[in-house]
Amino acid sequence: MTDDLKEKLRSIIADVAELDEVPDETPFKDLGIDSMMAIEIVSDVERQFKLTIPEDELADLVNLEAVYQKVKAKLGG
């Protein structure tokens, strides 16, 4: 499930940001992902995985690895 989860998240981020690659540790800002795209990514992640990420936790989601760790924790992993 772990690798599958990360790949699903990578796909969501790549689709929203129209990117071919989303490295695990590269900051979203360095990938050209702005705040509006970040909101769309979080919304898509919440919908796909049926979870809620509180607004005060959004600033922590700086790259794919951070999103992965947050979603994994929320899913009980």
Over residues 8-66, the pLDDT tens digits come to: 999 999 999 999 999 999 999 999 999 999 999 999 999 999 999 999 999 999 999 99
User: What is the domain extent for residue 39?
Assistant: 2-74
pTM of the predicted structure, to 2 decimals:
0.92
Tally the domains of the chain: 1
Q: What is the pLDDT, as a whole number, of residue 3? A: 87
DSSP codes of every residue in the chain: -HHHHHHHHHHHHHHHHT-S---SSS-GGGGT--HHHHHHHHHHHHHHHT----GGGGGG--SHHHHHHHHHHHTT-
Question: Looking at residue 46, which CATH number applies to its domain?
Answer: 1.10.1200.10
Residue 5's pLDDT band, with cuts at 50, 70 and 90, is very high
Q: Give the list of residues 6+ apart from residue 6 with CB closer than 8 angstroms, or none.
A: 24, 64, 68
In the structure encoding, which two tokens stand for residue 30, read together? 């360095």
